[in-house]
Each structure stands twice: as structure tokens, then as C-alpha cells.
Structure 1
Amino acid sequence: MGKLLNKWNQMSLVKRILIGMIIGIILAITVPQQAKSVTILGSLFVGALKSIAPVLVLFLVMGAISQHKSGQQTNMKSIIVLYLLGTFLAGLVAVITSFIFPVSLTLAAGAKDVTPPGGVVEVLKALLLNLVDNPIKALFNANYIGILSWAVLLGLALKNAADSTKSMISNFSDALSQMVMWVINLAPLGIMGLVFDSIVTSGIGSLLSYGKLILLLVGTMIFVAVVVNPLIVYLTIRQNPFPLVFKCLKESGITAFFTRSSAANIPVNMRLCEKLGLDKDTYSVSIPLGATINMAGAAVTISILSLAAVHTLGIKVDIPTAIILSVLSAISACGASGVAGGSLLLIPLACSLFGIQNDVAMQVVGVGFIVGVIQDSCETALNSSTDVLFTAAAEFRKWRKEGKKIDIKNVA
């Protein structure tokens, strides 16, 4: 038994999730009544994520802002602008594709009992009130907008705190991230329960919506990678961007796809920046920062899954609200944790914009973990490769202004 358990733990999370999905489908088709107790595993998995996610967001955002150091002479301003612009445009593209190709999800019974907001004025009013919600109440009720606002303010207030205080916050962030990893390691069991419950409740046809959802997620990310990002780079350096784009996708994106961790891909990105001849004082800061705030793939995931919930519940969305969602998904993406599936934990924040209850939003998170085998790999590949792409673009723009020659064609 011990050897079997060791073998199981040595397998990649992706393979374990696939096995969990297959077992869930087999049980649901063959012995639905006898295996009914399996559904509790899905409920426990979603419940654990629901409990820890608010505290995780608070400490991650607060820690990142409090430890930011200013005064270093680098090309960081241009890079940060590109990071934020790229993340916003990715969220905007995801909103547009979600309206062109609407996808609905199969949620648990009672999930449709939601009262949608009356319009953009009501949405903005609720947004502003949530921003100043009592911080303890915001944590208790999983009000992610309030959590985010207080985390930013606490981070700014702690910028001049002692290093020991900042270290303690960082330790808490690490500990919470580790706890999330423990929960995510149980994802195969949780997903087995979720898949079983979905098929028993709604039939095998419900899984077809996941296929459509995967196509929409991956298709949007590919569009961002080969259309939106090259356009941003072209407007920055005024040269053919594709050699640089494909270089970053090949040397950074492929490794990030398999590691599924922007943090784990930092050494790969550092070496690529060195090969491109970039300034070490700049990329040694921008690459780790990009692994935290440059989250185009996460913005796509948050926007598409949130709007999938909106379409499922029949909520009407006007253009101003859609634009607000693009901005909110970009902000949410910047707070995504570095663990696998981190962006999924921030879907409730975007869902709250439409008055969707947290219980319903966490069911959407559960669906996200089902499609996460492909989604998270593609998301990480887009996020990590774009770190190098925008760092290089900002550096090449600086060289062009200084009159230096940029040989983009030979970087591939």
C-alpha cells in the first residue's frame, strides 16, 4: 500500500486529475446509486478552497505591496505600463469572445436563485460600498473587492515597517500558499466527486459544455499570444514583432506549459533575457515582478468563467458593465497567487460584480479545476512568455530612442 501511495504522489498533478475525472465518469455511468457518497469529496474540496481563498488574497496582495522597493534606476515604468496594458487588453478580448461565443455551465440545483443588479449605476454603487466594507466582515463574507482594497491600503501602510514585520507577512503568505497546495493536491478526489455529481444530476451531456469552455479559453489565449501581444510590441518598437514573440513562446512558453508555475519559470526567463542582451538591472526586477502582476492568461480565465456564470444565470450585461469587468479582471489577475489554479480563486471577485452569490461562484471555481488540466498550462505559458516579451519590448524601445541598432530578425 505504501509503495502504491508513493507512486501516486510521484505522478504529476495533471495525470492525477485526469485519473480522478475518468474514475468519476465511470462511477457515474456504472454505479450511480452505490457511489453516491463520492459527491461529498467535491463538496469538501470546494469548501476548503472557499474557506482559505479570502485570507490568501489578503496576505498575498498586502505582502507584495509592502515589500516593493522604490528609487532603483531601471526601465521599470515602461515595463509595468506594458504589463498592465497587456493584462487589460487580454481581459477585454476575453469579454468580447465570451459575447461572440457564449458558453453556459451546469451548476448545482438552486444556483439559479440569483437576483441580478438593475444596471451599471447599481453595480458601481455596490462596488464602492464593497470597497469600504469592514475588513473582518469582508473576510467572513468572502467580499473579495473589500479584501483587495484593504490589502492594498495595508500594504502601502506597511512599506516603512521593519524588515522583521515584512518577513512575518511573507512567511504567512508562504504558509497560506502551502496550505492551498495541500488542498490542490487533493484535487483529483475533489474533481472525481464534482464530475460524478455533475453527470448523475444532469447527465453525460453536461460534460460537452466543458469541451466548449476549453476551446473558448485556449482559443482566446492563442489570439492574445499571436495577435494582441504582437500588436502591442509593434507599437512599442516599430518593427516586425513576430521573431521575438515566437522566440519567447518557444523558449519560455513551452517550459511554463509543463511546469504550470510562473515562479518556477523565472530562471528560464532570466537566461532568455541574458541571451537577448537585455539590461540585467532591469530584467532581474521585471521578471520576478511579472510572475506576480503580468497575468494576461489569468485575466482571460477570470473574464470567461465569470461571464460563463453570467450566461448560465441569464443575467443581462451592458457595455459599460463589460468594460468594468475587463478592468476588474485585470486587477484581479494581478492578485492571482503563484500556485496552480491561482486565478480560479479570484473568480468570485469578478462574479460579485454581477451580484452572483459566493456559493455559486465557488461552483464555477470547481468547473475551472475540471478544465484546469489544459487551461492552467496554457494560462501559465501565456503569462510567463509575456514577461520576457514585454521586458524586451521596453528595452528595445529605449535602445531605439538612444539610436542603437535592434536586430529583431536574428533573435529567433
Structure 2
Amino acid sequence: MADRSPKPSSRSLWRRYLDFPLIYKLAIALVAGAVVGLAVGEPATALQPLGEVFLRLLQMLVMPLVVVTLIAGVSSIDPVRLGGIGLKVLVFYLATSAVAITVGLLAALAVAPGTGLQAPGRTEQSPEQAPPVAQTLVEIVPENPFAALAEGNVLAVMFAAIAAGIALAFMRASSDERIAGLGALLRRGVDAGVELVFVIVRGVLQYAPVGVFALIAVVLAETGVDALVPLAKLTGVVYGGVAVQIGVYAAVLVLFRVGVRRFFAAAREPMVTAFATRSSSGTLPVSTRAARRMGVDEGVYGFTLPLGATVNMDGTAIYVGAATVFVANVAGVELTVGQLLMVVLVGVLASIGTAGVPGAGLIMLSLAVTQAGLPFGPVALVAGIDAILDMVRTMCNVTGDLTGTRVIARTERGMVHESGEDGTGPGAGAAAVPAGAQRAEGAEPPGEDAGSGG
């Protein structure tokens, strides 16, 4: 009896941790990290390794997840339907990015966040340049897919995975029984790879609160409250612009008759994770899980989410628009209509060539500032609080990816499993809930936490 009592007690404590919803664990970690970072100050930077481990775990999953989900997603769609989904997702992502950067520009023009600030002195470092759009388009096609995989070239890996997925889709649809049989066999292997990655994802998410706590504590320990004072207007513009953009997403969801409350109940975990990690690609495992929870078929989310993590950067577009006006204010330059249009165009196109990792927004901002003919010096002011701005813009990026995924799934027949709407996930065997009953339910979908199956 004495030997058996400690075991159930410790197992029960671990079980309770697993059963506690991830969103609350992340929220507690965020608050605790902020308190420690501000109260302790510089010594809190010793927590950096704990945060780095979390980022490395997420980054470790990115390439395998991109490969298996893209191949599984693309190959699960009928070849005739594949072209329609691809066109829809590109149009949606480009349109929302254009809206986002316009929101950022208009909000910044109204507030004039940089007025009264002095441009910093000479900077020793030259800005990191974004690759030209033409070069980016050429390099999407990899000379060696395995080298692209080893180098972390996301766009090139995505191209190779999409090509493999298309080929597998045609194999499965072939009238030749031998080819169709081989396609079915390959598809089973891909499905096994997807499940393997998701088992690892569930394990990594158990460490997420520790990593989030460390990341937030380190960021606030390094910047402190004083760092926000001279740039409070710019911070407010970016955060306000993101709030407006999320309102745009809600309007789009309503337009396509998708439940807004139910959507955000499923999307809030990847939103919080994106806010803490500042990485769209790193949040991809959590975003994919949320899409499954919404009932979206892998034929849609397996294609739209990896693509969106790289090319859809609405929050970053808001940041680029607002920060460009900020730089112009600090430099004492009044932007012309032509320059504003150029910022919109460059912001939308540059999002294709910047990866969904922390700090990519500075590359886009450097390109936009240069193309607008503005001095680069004031960008150093923005870089000082880039981490604070990066959090909210990454959250917006991920929310836009999920919105596009859910809307596109809504427009494709058979690509939304209603059983997934109650948290059981697609393929759970539950009967479809009548539309009226779904609309009446406002509660959070039960049963999905970090320790449960996807």
C-alpha cells in the first residue's frame, strides 16, 4: 500500500497537466513570463536556452510537416479540383495582403507615429536585402530538392512536395490498375508519415508553456517598458491595424456563412502560439491541428497552411505599411500617392520571398523603405522594438492562414467534415450536426487539449 500510493499521485498530477487546456497553459506562461521579465530584468535573459529549445523543436517539425502535409493534401484532391483550390488560395492571400498593407498605411497616415522623433545617427550595419522578386520566382524551382531540404529553402521544398503530390494524385486516379495500386500504396506511406509527425507534435506541445514563459521573459527583460515609450504610437498603430484586420477576417467568415465564434475557439491556440514564438512556420504544427479541429479536410489545409506560412503575411504587411510611414515621419518626408502605391505593391510581392520566421518583417521593411526612396537610418528605431511588433503581426499572419483555409474549404464540396466542428475531428465517426444546432452552440468545442489526439 505504501509503495503504491506515490505512483498514482504523481501520475495523476501529470495527467492533470495533460488534460489542462493548452490555451490556458499558454496564457499563464505569457503572464508569468511578462512578470518575471519586467521584475527581474537583465538576469531573466538566462532563460534564453529554454526558449531556444522550444523554437528548435518547432523548427525541427517544419520541414517534415511541410513535406508530408503538402504531399498528403495535394494528392488527396481530385486532379480536376486541384487547380481550383490553388487559384482560390493565391487570390485570397494576395487580396488580404493588399488590404492589410493599406490598413497599415491609412492608420499610420492618420496618427503620424514618427512625428517629433529624431533620426538615429549613422548605423554601421547595412540593411539585409530581400531577394529580387524575379530571383525569388526562379529559385522556387530547386536544382536539387534534397539540398533545398537541407538548406531550409521552404519555397523550393514546397514546390517539390506539390509536384510530388500532383503526381501521386494522377497515379491514384489512373485507369491503369498497376499504377493506381502503386499510388494507393504510396498514399498509405504518406498517411503514416502524417500521423508520425502529429504524434511528435503532440509531444512538443507539452513543452510549449515552458518555452513561451522563457521567450516572453527574455524579450521584456531586454526591451523593458522604456523601449516602448518613444515608439508607443507606432506600436498602437500596428496593434490597432491588426485588430482591424481580424475584424476583416470575421466579416469574410460571416460572408461565407462560417461560425465566427466556433472558428476563433479553434484558432486561439495557434494565435497565442504565434504571438509567443513569432514564427508562422514554427506555429504550423499547431495551425494544422486547429484546422483539423475545425473539420477541414487535409486536402485543403495540407495545401493552404504550408503555403500560407510562407507567402501570406497580412500582419507583416500592416507592419510594413505603418513602419514605412513612421520612417517617413522621422525623416521629415511626405510620401506621395505614387510612393504609397509602390509600398503596397512591394509589400504584397515581398511577402512571397520572406520566410515565416522571426524577424522576416525587417527584410520586407528594408525593401519597402528603399523602394520608396526613404533614408534607411530611422529603421534602426523600429528594429529596437521589432520583437514586440513581431508578436502581434505573426499572430495576424497565422489567423489569416486559418481564415483562408476555412473559407476555401467552405467553397469546396466535401472539404468540411461537420463532425470536426464539435471538437471530435474529421473522421471521428460522429454524425453530422444539423446546421441549426451548430449555430445555437456557442460553447468551446470540447475534448481538444495538448494531450489529446488530433
Question: TM-score, normalized by length of structure 1?
Answer: 0.60
1:100 partnered with 2:110: yes
- The Cα of 1:284 is off from its aligned counterpart by 1.3
Instruction: Look up the match of 1:151.
Output: 135
1:352 partnered with 2:336: no
Partner Cα distance (1:165, 1:171) in 2 = 9
Could you tell me which amino acid in structure 1 is paired with residue 288 of structure 2?
Answer: M
1:166 partnered with 2:148: yes
- The Cα of 1:269 is off from its aligned counterpart by 1.8
1:389 partnered with 2:413: no
Q: Is the 8 A contact 2:359 2:390 kept in 1?
A: yes
Instruction: Look up the match of 1:91.
Output: 101
Measured against aligned partners, the alpha-carbon deviations of 1:276-319 in whole angstroms (never above 9, x if no partner) come to 22121221121111111111111111111111001111212122
SS at match of 1:209: coil
Instruction: Look up the match of 1:367.
Output: 384
Instruction: Look up the match of 1:8.
Output: none
- The Cα of 1:352 is off from its aligned counterpart by 0.6
Partner Cα distance (1:153, 1:364) in 2 = 32
Count matched residues.
Answer: 301
Instruction: Look up the match of 1:265.
Output: 283
Could you tell me which amino acid in structure 2 is paired with residue 221 of structure 1?
Answer: V
Measured against aligned partners, the alpha-carbon deviations of 1:79-115 in whole angstroms (never above 9, x if no partner) come to 222122111111111011011111114431369xxxx
Instruction: Look up the match of 1:377.
Output: 391
Instruction: Look up the match of 1:55.
Output: none
* Aligned pair partner of 1:109 in 121, 124, 135: 121
1:211 partnered with 2:229: no
Instruction: Look up the match of 1:340.
Output: 358
Which shifted more, 267-276 or 243-252? 243-252
Partner Cα distance (1:207, 1:401) in 2 = 44
Partner Cα distance (2:287, 2:93) in 1 = 15
- The Cα of 1:337 is off from its aligned counterpart by 3.0
Instruction: Look up the match of 1:276.
Output: 294
The structure where helix makes up a greater share of residues is 1
1:306 partnered with 2:320: no
Measured against aligned partners, the alpha-carbon deviations of 1:3-32 in whole angstroms (never above 9, x if no partner) come to xxxxxxxx99x8699569966xxxxxxxxx
Partner Cα distance (1:240, 1:168) in 2 = 39
Change (3 A) 1:166 1:207: closer
Which shifted more, 308-317 or 391-400? 391-400
Partner Cα distance (1:109, 1:341) in 2 = 22
Measured against aligned partners, the alpha-carbon deviations of 1:387-409 in whole angstroms (never above 9, x if no partner) come to 1221011111224999x986773
Change (3 A) 1:168 1:273: closer
Which shifted more, 329-338 or 14-23? 14-23
Instruction: Look up the match of 1:52.
Output: none
SS at match of 1:356: coil
Measured against aligned partners, the alpha-carbon deviations of 1:333-365 in whole angstroms (never above 9, x if no partner) come to 33333332221232110101222244x154144
Partner Cα distance (1:280, 1:286) in 2 = 9
SS at match of 2:308: helix
Instruction: Look up the match of 2:268.
Output: 250
Instruction: Look up the match of 1:323.
Output: 341
Measured against aligned partners, the alpha-carbon deviations of 1:18-54 in whole angstroms (never above 9, x if no partner) come to 569966xxxxxxxxxxxxxxxxxxxxxxxxxxxxxxx
Stretches of structure 1 that go unaligned for 5 or more consecutive residues are: 1-10, 24-63, 112-139, 175-184, 196-203
Question: TM-score, normalized by length of structure 2?
Answer: 0.55
Change (3 A) 1:307 1:17: farther
Instruction: Look up the match of 2:312.
Output: 294
Could you tell me which amino acid in structure 2 is paired with residue 230 of structure 1?
Answer: A
Instruction: Look up the match of 1:232.
Output: 252
Change (3 A) 1:258 1:401: closer
Partner Cα distance (2:250, 2:309) in 1 = 20
- The Cα of 1:245 is off from its aligned counterpart by 4.7
